[in-house]
Structure 1
């Protein structure tokens, strides 16, 4: 068992943001969370992380309601990578990655002997070992996102939630980042805008529209031409599979949302 949402809803300023959404993450798989702007992707991620509470429905971790678990215990299991991160404090790359160890440390307690080993392993996993002493603020956008993933891995989570981590990155850094995510030994849920990136790297995709679950399944099952037209308001051609058997999506014009 892992992280699940059962008919969760959420309102803000009297407006329904999520409407009875259910999903369960598949252990060890990469699940893509898709939908237009305003479809509720970020809200759903925050509910799954325990940052927000649902107005109705329940989020569970290994079958236990998330709201009944200690926040520190959740943080030891579930790590979150936001769209962007910044700090006014002068930190090195290693300092940022060490922040991932906070859930494993008692208040005011010194670092345990094994903590630096976890930090070093996260740096090596993300290809940042040679940047450990470099100031965070000197990094490019793609490098900063990689550091945030290293910080999340230093938590030693079993579930990793990423909120549009490829935003503002060039194509090469988008591919590098998702290659890294796809190879991680954790259960991942990643919110994405680009349908082709989702088709290339996700084992399972979940499609939201206007706060409701439209479909979930493999990229082939979910990303059909009719469904793309309905949800995104564009005409698309879902082409023959690529070398890895994944669909390729080509947008050919603007349509009308139903």
Structure 2
């Protein structure tokens, strides 16, 4: 029986249009896997299939070798945490209140928080660098702080698999780097949808590249992110600098390809 979360030839359609077509992904335990591709390539849909939010039309998502659909929802929620692109609420919630939502899979309905719940919340706040903001109201936070709070909420679930849908969107460079430093240091099995190829090259142990719902390439960033692939998938000319063996590549974009779609 294979351990962890995996997708095997999954497909999904919306409105008669094929969004994902035969995509397989087996993240390595304790690593960061980047899911890359242009807008509309199926990145968000793949994460929702892995989280069990959507059910594949064909193929299967498994957790420790068992079909995810057959795993009790509470069990899956304790194992898998999904962080969406953006989250908002009109309720007057504090940061600590938001993080406490991550304990729902561990509690029976209408039961008060236990000492273990509160310890998990404190730990998640500390790991996310939000202890000093625990009593701040959610709507007063910056975009970067909200993303960190959502990751803290996910960490309070005490998952083994963490799925993040473009977590660096709308963040400035400092907050992008801080967020990915946090994610890469968690030692969880993380799958992250990203737009920025240099961030993917810097922080991901493996990448999966999608185009129009199909896998174009998969493997280590240094092997996958080539000038040819970037031109083919993104329609962009690029120059890649490879500092040395074992070092991460850096991508410099030179412009769009003439006549590219």
TM range (shorter): over 0.9
In structure 1, the partner of 2:117 is 115
In structure 2, the partner of 1:182 is 184
Residues in 2 aligned to 1:159 and 1:233: alpha-carbon distance in whole angstroms: 33
SS at the partner of 2:192?
strand
SS at the partner of 1:162?
strand
Residue correspondence of structure 1 range 1-258 to structure 2 within 5 A: 1-241=3-243, 245-255=247-257, 257=260
| Number of residue pairs aligned between Structure 1 and Structure 2 | 258
SS at the partner of 2:115?
coil
Residues in 1 aligned to 2:229 and 2:246: alpha-carbon distance in whole angstroms: 23
Change (3 A) 1:244 1:134: farther
> Deviations for 1:3-54, whole angstroms, at most 9, x for unmatched residues?
1000000000000000000010110000011000000000000000000000
What residue ranges of structure 2 are gaps of 5+ in the alignment?
none
SS at the partner of 1:114?
helix
> Deviations for 1:50-81, whole angstroms, at most 9, x for unmatched residues?
00000000000010000111111110000011
Native 8 Å contact 1:33 1:205 kept in 2: yes
Native 8 Å contact 1:242 1:248 kept in 2: no
Divergent runs of 4+, >6 A: none
Residues in 2 aligned to 1:182 and 1:215: alpha-carbon distance in whole angstroms: 22
Residues in 2 aligned to 1:113 and 1:129: alpha-carbon distance in whole angstroms: 17
Residues in 2 aligned to 1:48 and 1:126: alpha-carbon distance in whole angstroms: 24
Residues in 1 aligned to 2:244 and 2:61: alpha-carbon distance in whole angstroms: 36
Residues in 1 aligned to 2:212 and 2:154: alpha-carbon distance in whole angstroms: 30
Note the aligned Cα RMSD (angstroms).
Answer: 1.3
What residue ranges of structure 1 are gaps of 5+ in the alignment?
none
Residues in 2 aligned to 1:69 and 1:75: alpha-carbon distance in whole angstroms: 10
Native 8 Å contact 1:231 1:257 kept in 2: no
Native 8 Å contact 1:92 1:133 kept in 2: yes
Q: TM-score, normalised by structure 2?
A: 0.97
